[in-house]
């Protein structure tokens, strides 16, 4: 029997990349997984199928984040499938490559709507569904504390805001035995990063060299960290920013 059998988890942005890796990894530990997706229904169904093929249980929820009323709609969908929540993983997010001098207000607002506002209100409106002793994990980024990268300034700002949310929410939910933590990946081999990571062998090697461990991260590397935090073994860790960059910040 899995260590999380009988529990229910929601992973946002779980149709691909890190989110899919987290959903599949947690699914092996026994909880029922709500696989959230924004637009790629086919990919979400593939995630559900992979979890079920491994002996787990899952269902998909399709709601585009960053839009007015997104949190209400997501919980309405969730409530059709489950009657409570134990684990909430905020993974859904968008990035940008526009530098400070070029980014416009619309793109800036969209970044904060998806990466900051959505997790905030999903948690606020979902707090009554989150059972005592539950877990909240926010997927941050090493960029929130790494050397300055002006071309990613707005994205890094959203992740820094998410880290403050983590810190303060841990105090808010702590009396209920709910832990809240941030996990900060570095460069991870996902389809979002594929274009530049796989542009050349040189690009790949340069990315790998940034990590003390000498390689590019995988979704599984991040998923295992999340699995620890949501398990009973992670019960005494809260309000924490966990560096999961493979030593890129050392």
Q: Which residues are catalytic?
A: 140-141, 155, 159
Q: What are phi and psi of 5, to 5 degrees?
A: -60, 135
CA dihedral 183, 127, 26, 41 (to 10 degrees): -100
Q: Of 242, 102, 231, 122, whose CA–CA distance to 186 is shortest?
A: 242
Q: Where are the beta strands (DSSP E) in the chain?
A: 8-11, 32-37, 57-62, 85-90, 130-139, 179-185, 240-244
129 token code pair: 């569904």
Please report the sign of the dihedral spanned by the C-alpha atoms of residue 206, residue 209, residue 210, residue 211.
Answer: positive
């Amino acid at each position: 029997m899995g260590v999380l059998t009988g529990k229910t988890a929601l992973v946002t942005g779980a149709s691909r990349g890190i989110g899919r890796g987290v959903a599949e990894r947690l699914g092996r530990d026994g909880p029922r997984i709500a696989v959230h997706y924004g637009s790629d229904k086919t990919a979400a169904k593939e995630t559900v199928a992979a979890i079920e093929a491994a002996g787990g249980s899952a269902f998909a929820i399709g709601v585009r984040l960053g839009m007015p009323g997104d949190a209400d709609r997501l919980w309405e969908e969730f409530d059709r499938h489950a009657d409570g929540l134990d684990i909430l993983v905020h993974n859904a997010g968008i990035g940008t490559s526009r530098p400070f001098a070029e980014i416009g207000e619309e793109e800036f607002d969209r970044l904060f709507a998806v990466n900051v506002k959505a997790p905030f209100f999903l948690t606020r409106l979902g707090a009554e569904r989150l059972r005592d002793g539950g877990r909240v994990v926010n997927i941050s980024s090493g960029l929130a504390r790494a050397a300055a990268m002006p071309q990613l300034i707005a994205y890094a700002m959203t992740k820094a805001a998410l880290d403050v949310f983590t810190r303060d929410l841990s105090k808010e939910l702590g009396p209920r035995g709910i832990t809240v933590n941030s996990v900060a990946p570095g460069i991870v081999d996902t389809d979002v990063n594929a274009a530049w990571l796989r542009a050349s062998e040189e690009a790949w090697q340069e990315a790998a060299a940034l990590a003390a461990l000498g390689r590019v991260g995988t979704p599984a590397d991040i998923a295992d960290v999340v699995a620890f935090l949501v398990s009973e073994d992670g019960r005494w860790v809260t309000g924490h920013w966990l560096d999961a960059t493979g030593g890129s910040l050392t």
